[in-house]
Amino acid sequence: MPHAARPTVTLHDVAAAAGVSVSTASRVLGGSSRTVAPEYQERVLAAAATLRYTADASARAMRRASDSITLIVDDLTTPSIGMVVAAMEREARTAGAFVTVSSTGGTPDRQLETVRRLRALRPRAIVLTSSRLDADLVGGRLLGELRAYERDGGRVVIVGDTDMPFDSISFDNHAAARALGAYVAETGHREVVILAGDVARANVTTRATGFIEGLRAGGVAPDSIRVVHCEVSRRGGSEAIRGSLGGFTDVDAVLAANDLIAVGAMSALRAAGVSVPADVSVTGFDDIQLAVDVMPRLTTVALPLADAGAEAIRLAVREGTEPAHLTMSGHLVVRDSALPRTRPR
Amino acid sequence: MPHAARPTVTLHDVAAAAGVSVSTASRVLGGSSRTVAPEYQERVLAAAATLRYTADASARAMRRASDSITLIVDDLTTPSIGMVVAAMEREARTAGAFVTVSSTGGTPDRQLETVRRLRALRPRAIVLTSSRLDADLVGGRLLGELRAYERDGGRVVIVGDTDMPFDSISFDNHAAARALGAYVAETGHREVVILAGDVARANVTTRATGFIEGLRAGGVAPDSIRVVHCEVSRRGGSEAIRGSLGGFTDVDAVLAANDLIAVGAMSALRAAGVSVPADVSVTGFDDIQLAVDVMPRLTTVALPLADAGAEAIRLAVREGTEPAHLTMSGHLVVRDSALPRTRPR
DNA sequence: AATGTGTTGGAATGCGTTTTCCCACGAAGG
DNA sequence: CCTTCGTGGGAAAACGCATTCCAACACATT
C-alpha cells in the first residue's frame, strides 16, 4: 500500500473488471450527462458493487465542485446548536450537500486556525456561528482568510452578529428583548433585576439593553431596574441570585439574558424560599428544550433556530453574489414562570 | 474560474511570485525533509503569505496521507458528547490531525450513508460513536462499508458497545451500575424504583440489570425492586415519577439510568411534595454538567468521557494493526441527592 | 589538476478522476 | 449509392500537488 487511506480499488480497476474504458466507467459512476449503452452501464454498476468501489473525493474534487459544507461553531455543548445543525443537515440533503462540523472553543485564534484548515478542504461553503464576529479579530487575519476563501470561489455565511462583508443571518435580539421587557412591565411588575450575563458576549448584552428599553417604555422607573452581571450558565444564574439576595425584598421580576441563567436563578430563588412565580416572576431567552422541562415552565423568547439553520444553507448554496443580510425576529412565549401582578402602590 | 471552490492561487503561482521552481516551493511549504537555501525559503514564505496561499487538501491527499479524522455521532445535543469531542480535538492536535463531526440522528440508514460519504473523503480514520453498533445492521452493509474502508488503509474506531471487529472503547456500564446499586443497598435503602429508560438503548438497559445485581447483592429483596421504563430524557424521568406516584409511599430510593432522567425525577418528586434526599434518595448516571448544577447535587456515576475521547484518537492514529478493545470503568461520585438511612424494621 | 562526494534547484512523473477530443459506426436523407 | 449527422466508446489531457530523478555545482580529497 502506498500510504494510509489511499484507495486500493480505483476507477481503473472497475473499468477493467467491467471490460470497458475508464471514461465509460466514469460516465456511469459519475453521473455524466452523456449516455452509455445499457449493457455497459449494467456491467460497470455490477463491477463497482462487487468491488465496493467508492470514488475518491479528493481526486474528484480536482475536477468538479465539492458538495461539502463545513460548519464552524464555538461550542458543541450549547443547547441551541443542536437544532441549528439538525436543520442545516436536513436542508443540505435536499441540496445534495453534506454538512460537517468543527468546534473552536470560541477563541479567535482557533477560529482562524480552523478556517485555514478547512479552507484547504475547498468546501462549497463555510458557515460560521459565533456570538459575535468582528472584522478586526486577530488583527483582521480571520477576515483576510475568509476573503481569500471567497476569492477562490467559496461562499461564506455567518450566523450571528457581524460587521463582516459576507452573507449573514442574525437574530433581532434587541427587538425581542424589548418586547419581553414591555410585556413584563405591562403585566404589572415594577421592581426588576436583569441578569445580564457576561459583558464579553455581545448578543447577550444587546438583550440587556433591550430589556431596559422595554421596561422603561412600559412604565418601570429607571431606579427600579438593577443590572447584575454573571456567568452565562445555569450556575451563573444561581450565584447571581445568591450573591444579591439581600436587596431582593421588593423585587417582583427577574429577567435573565438566557434560559440557562433563568433556570439557575429559579432554583436559587426556590432554595431561598422565594416562590416562582407567586412571589417573583422569572423569564429567559432562547426557548431551549429545558425551558419546557422545568417547573414552572419558563416564559421566554423563542428564536427561529431551525429556520436560521435552513436559511444559512440556502444562502450557502445559492448562486447569487451580492451579500445578503437577514434578520430573524424572535417571539414571546408566555408560559408559567411569569405571572401578572397587581400590587398596592 | 473553472468551477466553484477551485483555488485560483496555486503552488505554481507562489513559485512564480517567489522566482523559484514549483518543486522548491513545494519543499518549503510542504515540510519536506530536504533543505532549501534560506533566502529561497524566505522568498517562498513571503510570497505564500501575500497571496494567502493554501495548499489544496484534495491535491495533496493524492500524494500523501490525509490528516483529518471524521467523527460520526448520533446526536450532537447529547450532553456528554461535547466533552468527548473536546478531548478528541485536543488529542488530535497533538497528533497533527484534525477532527470533523457529522451527525446521523441515530438511524442505521443514515449511519450507512454517512460512512459512505465520509469514506470518499479518505480520512485517516473514522470514529463512530453510538449506543450500540451491531454487525448485522442494515443487512451487514454498514460493516461491509467499514471493512472496505479499512481494506483501503483507513482506520475504524468505535466508541461504545459493538460486536464489530474494529478497535473499540466501551464503558463498563454493568460494573459501574452494579457498584452504584451496591452502594445504595449498603446505605440502608430497601424499597427501590429503577427508572430504566428505553429498552431500545442497549447501554441503558445494561445499567438497569447492573443496578439490580448490585441491589440484590447488597441485600435488597427482589420484590422490593420495581423497574419502570421511560423516555431517556428529563421529561421521561418526570413522567415516570408522576405516572407511578400512587405506589410510592414506601420507596426510599430512585435509581435512574441517566442523569437527565434523574433530574426529571427529582423535579417531579419535589413537585409532589417529596423531599430529596430527606424522604427519597435519587441517583443518576453519566455525571454530566447538570449533575453538579442542580440542587441537591446528584450522586451519580462518572464516566471517563474525556479519557475515552483521547484514547479513541490515540487508537485512530496508532500504527498497530490488530484490533484493540478497551473497556473503561466508571466510578461512583457521591454527592447530596442520596442519603444513608436507617429505617425501622 | 583530476576525481569523488554531498548538496540543491528544476524538469518530469504520477496520483484518480472528469472532461474534452477524436474516431468508428450506423441511420437517415438526398 | 454517397453524404451527413447523431450516437457513443476510448485515448488523452488536465486538475494541483509531492516526489523521484537528473544535472549542476561546491567542496574536499588524492
pLDDT one-digit tens code per residue, B134-167:
888 788 899 999 998 888 888 999 998 888 999 9
- Give the integer Cα–Cα distance in Å for A48 and B19: 45
Whether A52 sits inside 8 A of B3 (CB atoms) is no
Cα–Cα dist A52/B120, whole Å: 12
**What is the Cα Rg of chain A in Å?**
26
C1' (C6) to CA (B16) span, angstroms: 28
> Smallest Cα–Cα separation from A322: which of A212, A166, A104?
A166
Report whether CATH 1.10.260 matches the domain B11-62: yes
| Class for the domain spanning B173-304 | alpha beta
Nearest by CB: B4 against A60, A124, A267 = A124
Average pLDDT, chain B: 89
Does the beta-carbon distance from B145 to A52 stay under 8 Å?
yes
Determine the distance in angstroms separating the CA of B56 from the nearest CA of chain A, rounded to an integer. Answer: 5
Distance from CA of A91 to the nearest CA of B (A): 14
Give, in degrees to the nearest 5, the angle at Cα A67 between B111 and A131.
85
Q: Per-residue confidence at B79, pLDDT binned at 50, 70, 90?
A: confident
**Cβ contact, residue pair B4, A264, below 8 Å:** no
Digit-coded pLDDT (tens) for B35-77: 888 899 999 999 999 999 999 988 988 888 888 899 999 888 7
Across the interface, whether the CB atoms of B152 and A293 are under 8 A apart is answered no
Question: Do the domains spanning A11-62 and A173-304 agree at the CATH topology level?
Answer: no
Q: CA-to-C1' distance for A152 and D13, Å?
A: 23
Residue B10, nucleotide of least CA–C1' distance = D16
Domain coordinates of chain A in residue numbers? 11-62, 65-171+305-329, 173-304
DSSP A286: B
* pLDDT score at B270: 86
Closest to A341 in 3D by CA, of A179, A185, A187: A187
For cell 468527548, the residue is B84
pLDDT tens digits in sequence order for chain A, 345 residues long: 333 455 578 999 999 999 999 999 999 999 888 889 999 999 999 999 999 999 998 899 888 888 899 999 988 877 778 889 999 999 999 998 999 999 898 889 999 999 999 998 889 999 999 877 888 888 889 999 999 998 888 899 999 988 899 999 999 999 999 999 999 999 999 999 999 998 877 777 889 999 999 999 999 999 999 999 999 888 899 999 998 877 667 899 999 999 999 999 998 998 888 999 999 999 999 998 888 878 789 999 999 999 999 999 999 998 777 889 999 999 999 999 999 987 544
CB A338 within 8 A of CB A281: yes
Contact B298, B283 (CB under 8 A): yes
Please tell me the distance in Å from B155's CA to the nearest CA on chain A: 8
Look at residue B293 in the predicted model and tell me its pLDDT: 77
**Alpha-carbon gap, residue A213 to B63, rounded angstroms:** 60
Q: Which residue has the cell 514549483?
A: B22
The pTM for the full model equals 0.85
CA–C1' span, B96 to D19, in Å? 22
Task: Note whether A36 and A21 are within 8 A (CB).
Answer: no
Q: Do B151 and A101 touch (CB under 8 A)?
A: no
Contacts of B294 (CB under 8 A, 6+ apart): A267, B263, B266
What are the helix (H) ranges across B187-321? Answer: 202-217, 234-243, 259-271, 289-293, 305-317
Residue B67 CB neighbours (<10 A): 19
Nearest beta carbon to residue A153 from set B1, B155, B295: B1
Out of B58, B79, B152, whose CB is closest to A5?
B152
Closest partner CB to A121 (pick from B57, B117, B264): B57
CA of A94: how far to CAs of A55, A63, A313, in Å? 21, 23, 10
* Strand D reaches within 7 A of the B62 CB: yes
Which top CATH class is A65-171+305-329?
alpha beta
Cα angle A230-A234-A238, degrees, rounded to a multiple of 5:
65
**Residue B87: its chain A contacts at CB < 8 A?**
none
In the complex, which nucleotide's C1' lies nearest to the CA atom of residue B31?
D18
Find cell 476563501 and name the residue.
A149
